[in-house]
């Protein structure tokens, strides 16, 4: 079974970032403050289910596409 | 201390408030907005630094740089930051860098700060958005932060101007500092990086480890490095077996390891940190799968209603005022050449555009409110999935929406789109959005053929037709993007990843200024072109080759012996125009435009507006006041209504002709400035020429179909 990622979160559900599966995207995500060990919560889902908005560590709201969210593995 | 002007650079995350601070310091009006990526190129200004102990104040040059999350660029606009900061020979290389940080998200903002600091640049850290931090139950201890980071920290509020004197003082002290303390790097190189850095430093005579690392990682973006230098660096990378991607991720993680304890010491949280209450409440509606779209549609319809309904009253007043002024001027000036040139040439041409000040002012004010409030970022989110279907990006919404004002700045905003492919498609389709220069054409033609009745009690039918034309432009843009995406190969996947700013109340003074500024540039910039073309056109339509005009005039006079003087005069001015130079041009292209329903007079206006479509209405005004048999100098609109089709004897501007013209102007790329900006942004003539050809064919074919079906 593949690991749970941010794209699997339901609205309002929380998760803790474990690692990234895509190197190129991981750098951008790290720079945007998505660090391993950081808690994220799914706050909003745009029409047609994509993109989504996640709250990163309580500090801000980040919007990303589902394929970008699928790169972030959760603990 | 350094002689001459002190140079300051503003660096920070997107939407941290750099441009707002820049405006507060310089008194300039650089464009600001509440979404990431407003500033896409560097902008310079000057401000005064206070003198110490009664000394004279010194002038400082300040450069506002595009926002970036790190010094490693992800999109075209971000490359400019390191191109300046890594090159001491660059004219904008700063003496002091002011790092503007959003205090409500300090950890992420400090990543960039530690990178800038490691480059060995003298820094001042400006903490902005402390009010947002407070509403998130956060308190920031600036003194603690300054001690831990070993940098002057200043609390500011760029919107209100608080703390600016403290910031200036800190900048001055930093610029005057003589001693250069040894740099304590936030990131310490490891393993093979150490030897690689030593090699690069020796080869390029660098004294900073981190700058050397940037030569390794970013040399392809550095405009100041020649090809041999780049090749040599590639060889060094190979020699040391340096894994760039692995290094970048490791470096970023290592930096956060340093930052985390500093932030936890200096930022105290009272209770649970959350985005501000109103931002969460508004997002639950505005990002809602259903209500999000409903609100967005409502906002767009409101804009078009505003342009059509609210602007009608001041526009009608202006129109009547202009007509009266022309008549009055005609009366007081002595008859003859000068009178005609001033009234029929210049005043008719200018009057044709002044009428459009109210709708343009309203349009710019509303777009400015969207940008200031933070709603624009939400629109990008709800539109991303849809945009992707057409090969675009949610970020393409900004150019498409600002394209409604003007395509030239809109095309420049595409620089924040990280994927080159999505950016190119966005550039190619943005000119299809109906810009404010098309508004006068739409307004006047709609007023000719659409009755001003209301449906459902509130919606003006003319407003709905206008909405339809704008929608047609949007549909055309999306369809074009989709067709192009089938032909242009896509090389890399695009990112979306967008920070959602908290909502802010628009600053009304700022909105008012944007409105004033855009109206001013519309009147002066467009006015200059329109005035020049009006004069040329007047000359061309008042004179003809040889004595052709006189002959035609004599023929008319002798053929109408029974007619009244008034009728003869009207017939004379009409044949004179037909035999003038302009008339010849019009007749020359008439065969081409005849299938679209246009005669030679419209042909003159089409030709004149080829370089700038806003000229169309002014040209029509000039042509019809010269050829006019209208003694009472009515408004342009009335003249067009009275114009007769010589072949049918009925009205010239039938619904078929008007709709054909409307559709033509929705699609036609009649704007030199847009072609120039596309050439600059795509670095070549290939794309602007393809775009020009495609849009012209599209315009012609659609107008042809509309006219043939309707007539």
Of the listed ranges B548-557, B560-569, B664-673, the one predicted with least confidence: B560-569
Q: How many CB atoms lie within 10 A of CB B492?
A: 11
pLDDT-based confidence at residue A33 (cuts at 50, 70, 90): very high
**CA nearest neighbour of B496 among B387, B400, B647, B399:** B387
Residue range B455-484: mean pLDDT, rounded? 88
Cα dihedral across residues B540, B546, B549, B552: positive or negative: negative
Residue range A18-45: mean pLDDT, rounded? 92
Per residue in B518-533, pLDDT (tens digit) is 888 777 877 777 778 7
Task: State whether B273 and A35 contact (CB < 8 Å).
Answer: no
Query: Domain boundary residue among B127, B147, B176?
Result: B176
pLDDT of residue A43: 92
| CATH, residue B56 | 3.40.50.300
- Top pLDDT among B38 and B120 is at B120
Residues B161 and B304 in one domain: no
pLDDT of residue B51: 79
pLDDT of residue B629: 52
Q: Is residue B147 part of a domain?
A: yes
**DSSP 3-state of B31:** coil
* The total number of structural domains that make up chain B: 4
Residue of A nearest to B259 (CA): A33
Q: What is the DSSP letter of B103?
A: G
Residue range A9-38: mean pLDDT, rounded? 92
Are B570 and B629 in contact by the 8 Å Cβ rule? The answer is yes
Separation of alpha carbons B4 and B54, rounded Å: 19
pLDDT of residue B632: 53
Are B395 and B498 in contact by the 8 Å Cβ rule? The answer is yes
Task: Collect all residues of chain B within an 8 Å Cβ-Cβ radius of residue A18.
Answer: none
Per residue in B358-410, pLDDT (tens digit) is 887 888 888 889 888 999 999 999 999 999 999 999 999 989 988 888 888 88
Q: Which residue has the tokens 């002798």?
A: B558
Give a three-class secondary structure readout of chain A: CCCCEHHHCCCCCEEEEEEECCHHHHHHHHHCCCCCCCEEEEEEECHHHCCEEEEECCCEEEEECHHHHCCEEEC
Of the listed ranges B172-176, B193-197, B303-307, the one predicted with least confidence: B303-307
Residues B163 and B256 in one domain: no
Residues B51 and B168 in one domain: yes
In order of their start, the domains of chain A are 6-74 (2.30.30.90)
Q: Is residue B546 part of a domain?
A: yes
Q: How many CB atoms lie within 10 A of CB B220?
A: 10
Separation of alpha carbons A64 and A33, rounded Å: 13
**DSSP 3-state of B101:** strand
pLDDT of residue B402: 82
Q: Which distant-in-sequence residues (6+ apart) come within 8 Å of B288 by Cβ?
A: A44
Q: What is the DSSP letter of B419?
A: -
Q: Is residue B279 part of a domain?
A: no
Answer whether residue B119 shows pLDDT above 90: yes
Answer whether residue A62 shows pLDDT above 90: yes
Task: State whether B105 and A46 contact (CB < 8 Å).
Answer: no
Task: Collect all residues of chain B within an 8 Å Cβ-Cβ radius of residue A68.
Answer: 495-497
Residue range B158-166: mean pLDDT, rounded? 94
Per residue in B308-354, pLDDT (tens digit) is 678 778 888 888 888 888 888 888 888 877 887 788 777 877 776 78
Residues B305 and B409 in one domain: yes
Q: Which distant-in-sequence residues (6+ apart) come within 8 Å of A50 by Cβ?
A: A65, A66, B384, B385
Task: Write phi, then psi, for B619 (nearest 5 degrees).
Answer: -65, -45
Cis peptide preceding A51, ω within 30 of 0: yes
Residues B482 and B381 in one domain: yes
Of B104, B290, B381, the CB nearest to A53: B381
**DSSP string across B322-333:** HHHHHHHHHHHS
Answer whether residue B62 shows pLDDT above 80: yes
- Top pLDDT among B98 and B586 is at B98
Residues B29 and B135 in one domain: yes
B426 touches chain A (CB under 8 A): no
- In this prediction, the answer to ipTM > 0.90 reads yes
Residues B196 and B169 in one domain: no
Q: Which distant-in-sequence residues (6+ apart) come within 8 Å of B374 by Cβ?
A: B34, B35, B279, B500, B501, B502, B503, B504
Residues B198 and B102 in one domain: no
pLDDT of residue B102: 95
Query: Which residues of A lie inside 8 Å of B (Cβ-Cβ)?
Result: 23-33, 35-36, 43-51, 53, 55, 57-65, 67-68
Binding-site residue ranges of B for Mg(2+): 23-24, 26-27
- Top pLDDT among A49 and B345 is at A49
pLDDT of residue B490: 79
Q: Is residue B254 part of a domain?
A: yes
Task: Collect all residues of chain A within an 8 Å Cβ-Cβ radius of residue B74.
Answer: 28
Are B450 and B435 in contact by the 8 Å Cβ rule? The answer is no
Of A31, A49, A63, the CB nearest to B496: A63
Mean predicted lDDT score pLDDT of chain B = 87
B290 touches chain A (CB under 8 A): yes
pLDDT-based confidence at residue B2 (cuts at 50, 70, 90): very low
Chain mean position to CA B228: 38
Task: State whether B384 and A65 contact (CB < 8 Å).
Answer: yes
Give a three-class secondary structure readout of B347-408: HHHHHHHHCCHHHHHHHHHHHHHHHHHCHHHHHHHHHHHHHHHCCCCHHHHHHHHHCCCCHH
Of B70, B284, B499, the CB nearest to A60: B499
Binding-site residue ranges of B: 12-19, 23-24, 26-27, 37-41, 64-67, 128-131
Q: What is the DSSP letter of B205?
A: T
Q: Is residue B510 part of a domain?
A: no
Of A30, A48, A57, the CB nearest to B385: A48
Answer whether residue B124 shows pLDDT above 80: yes
Domain range spanning residue B202? 192-269
Q: Which residue has the tokens 């942004």?
A: B681
Answer whether residue B297 shows pLDDT above 80: yes
Task: Collect all residues of chain A within an 8 Å Cβ-Cβ radius of residue B259.
Answer: none
The CA distances from residue B282 to A11, B14, B130, B255, B377, in Å, are 16, 22, 21, 35, 13
**DSSP 3-state of B637:** helix
Q: What is the DSSP letter of B157?
A: B
Burial B663-690, CB ≥16 within 10 A → b, else e:
bbbbbbbbbebbbebbbebbeeeebbee
pLDDT-based confidence at residue B1 (cuts at 50, 70, 90): very low
Residues B60 and B165 in one domain: yes
Residues B526 and B590 in one domain: yes
**DSSP string across B640-687:** HHH-B-TTTSSBSS-HHHHHHHHHHHHH---BHHHHHHHHHHHTSSHH
Chain B nearest CA to A5, separation (Å): 16
The structure tokens listed for B690 are 């393809």
Q: Is residue B498 part of a domain?
A: no
With residue B123 as reference, give the H or E element that holds it.
strand B123-128
Q: Which distant-in-sequence residues (6+ apart) come within 8 Å of B455 by Cβ?
A: B461, B464
The CA distances from residue B566 to B224, B524, B629, B645, in Å, are 73, 38, 8, 20
- Top pLDDT among B478 and B51 is at B478
pLDDT-based confidence at residue B149 (cuts at 50, 70, 90): very high
Are B53 and B105 in contact by the 8 Å Cβ rule? The answer is no
pLDDT of residue B17: 92
Q: Is residue B454 part of a domain?
A: no
Task: Estimate the crossing angle of helix B581-593 against helix B527-542, to 10 degrees.
Answer: 100
Answer whether residue B501 shows pLDDT above 50: yes
pLDDT-based confidence at residue B54 (cuts at 50, 70, 90): low
Residues B691 and B618 in one domain: yes
Per residue in B615-662, pLDDT (tens digit) is 888 788 777 776 655 445 566 777 788 787 877 878 888 999 999 999
Answer whether residue B708 shows pLDDT above 90: yes
Answer whether residue B168 shows pLDDT above 80: yes
With residue B592 as reference, give the H or E element that holds it.
helix B581-593
The structure tokens listed for B652 are 């010239």
Task: State whether B289 and A47 contact (CB < 8 Å).
Answer: yes
Task: State whether B500 and A62 contact (CB < 8 Å).
Answer: yes
Binding-site residue ranges of B for GTP: 12-19, 37-41, 64-67, 128-131
Of B111, B272, B284, the CB nearest to A31: B111
Entry field: residues in chain B: 711
Q: Is residue B366 part of a domain?
A: yes
Residue range B505-516: mean pLDDT, rounded? 88
pLDDT of residue B428: 95
**DSSP 3-state of B57:** coil
Residues B341 and B235 in one domain: no
Chain A nearest CA to B277, separation (Å): 13
Instruction: Determine the residue among A14, A30, A37, A40 to mutate to test chain B binding: the one whose Cβ has the most chain B Cβ atoms within 10 Å.
Output: A30
């Amino acid at each position: 079974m593949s690991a749970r990622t941010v794209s699997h979160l339901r609205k309002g559900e929380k998760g803790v970032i474990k690692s990234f599966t895509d190197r190129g995207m991981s750098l951008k995500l790290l720079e945007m403050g998505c660090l391993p060990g950081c808690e994220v919560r799914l706050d909003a889902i745009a029409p047609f289910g994509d993109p989504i908005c996640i709250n990163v560590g309580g500090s801000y709201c980040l919007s990303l596409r589902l394929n970008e969210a699928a790169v972030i593995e959760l603990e | 201390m350094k002689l001459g002007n002190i140079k300051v650079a503003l660096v920070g995350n997107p939407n941290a408030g750099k441009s707002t601070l820049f405006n507060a310091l310089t008194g300039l009006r650089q464009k600001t907005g509440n979404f990431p990526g407003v500033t896409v190129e560097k902008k310079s200004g000057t401000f005064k630094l206070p003198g110490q102990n009664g000394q004279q104040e010194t002038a400082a040059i300040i450069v506002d740089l595009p926002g970036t999350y790190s010094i490693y660029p992800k999109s075209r606009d971000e490359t400019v930051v390191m191109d300046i900061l890594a090159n001491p020979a660059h004219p904008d290389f700063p003496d002091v860098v002011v790092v503007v940080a959003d205090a409500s998200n300090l950890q992420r903002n400090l990543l960039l700060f530690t990178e800038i600091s490691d480059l060995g640049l003298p820094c001042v850290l400006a903490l902005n958005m402390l009010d947002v931090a407070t509403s998130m139950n956060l308190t920031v201890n600036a003194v603690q932060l300054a001690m831990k980071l070993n940098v002057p920290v200043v609390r500011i509020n760029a919107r209100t101007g608080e703390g600016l004197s403290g910031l200036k003082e800190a900048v001055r002290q930093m610029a005057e500092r003589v001693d250069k303390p040894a740099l304590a790097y936030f990131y310490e190189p490891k393993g093979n990086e150490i030897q690689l850095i030593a090699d690069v430093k020796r080869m390029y005579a660098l004294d900073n480890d981190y700058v050397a690392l940037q030569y390794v990682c970013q040399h392809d973006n550095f405009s100041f490095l020649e090809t041999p230098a780049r090749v040599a660096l590639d060889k060094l990378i190979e020699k040391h077996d340096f894994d760039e991607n692995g290094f970048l991720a490791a470096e970023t993680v290592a930096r956060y390891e340093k930052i985390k304890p500093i932030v936890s010491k200096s930022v105290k949280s009272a209770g649970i940190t959350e985005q501000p209450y109103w931002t969460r409440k508004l997002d639950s509606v505005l990002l809602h799968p259903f209500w999000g779209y409903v609100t967005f549609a409502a906002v767009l319809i409101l804009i078009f209603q505003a342009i059509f309904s609210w602007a009608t009253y001041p526009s009608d007043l202006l129109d009547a005022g202009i007509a009266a002024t022309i008549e009055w001027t005609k009366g007081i000036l002595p008859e003859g050449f000068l009178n005609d040139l001033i009234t029929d040439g210049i005043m008719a041409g200018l009057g044709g555009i002044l009428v459009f000040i109210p709708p343009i002012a309203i349009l710019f004010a509303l777009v400015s409110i969207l940008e200031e409030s933070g709603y624009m970022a939400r629109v990008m989110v709800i539109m991303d999935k849809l945009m992707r279907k057409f090969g675009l990006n949610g970020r393409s919404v900004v150019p498409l929406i600002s394209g409604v004002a003007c395509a030239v700045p809109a095309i420049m905003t595409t620089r924040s789109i990280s994927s080159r492919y999505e950016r190119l498609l966005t550039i190619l389709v943005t000119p299809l959005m109906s810009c404010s220069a098309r508004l006068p054409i739409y307004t006047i033609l709609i007023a000719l053929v659409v009755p001003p009745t209301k449906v459902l009690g509130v919606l003006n039918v003319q407003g709905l037709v206008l909405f339809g034309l704008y929608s047609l432009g949007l549909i055309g843009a999306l369809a074009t993007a989709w067709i192009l995406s089938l032909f242009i190969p896509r090389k890399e996947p695009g990112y979306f990843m967008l920070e959602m700013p908290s909502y802010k109340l628009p600053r009304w003074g700022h909105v008012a200024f944007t409105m004033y500024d855009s109206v001013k540039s519309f009147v002066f910039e467009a006015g200059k072109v329109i005035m020049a073309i009006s004069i040329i056109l007047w000359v061309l339509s008042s004179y003809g080759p040889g004595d052709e005009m006189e002959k035609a005039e004599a023929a008319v006079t002798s053929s109408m012996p029974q007619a009244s003087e008034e009728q003869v005069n009207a017939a004379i001015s009409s044949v004179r125009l037909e035999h003038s130079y302009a008339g010849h041009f019009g007749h020359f292209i008439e065969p081409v435009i005849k299938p679209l329903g246009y005669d030679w007079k419209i042909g003159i206006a089409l030709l004149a507006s080829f370089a700038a479509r806003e000229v169309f209405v002014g040209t029509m005004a000039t042509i019809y006041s010269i050829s006019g048999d209208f003694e009472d100098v009515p408004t342009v609109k009335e003249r067009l209504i009275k114009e007769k089709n010589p072949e049918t004897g009925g009205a010239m501007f039938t619904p078929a002709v008007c709709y054909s013209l409307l559709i033509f102007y929705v699609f036609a790329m009649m704007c030199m400035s847009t072609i120039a900006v596309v050439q600059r942004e795509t670095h070549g003539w290939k794309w602007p020429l393809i775009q020009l050809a495609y849009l012209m064919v599209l315009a012609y074919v659609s107008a042809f179909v509309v006219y043939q079906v309707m007539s």
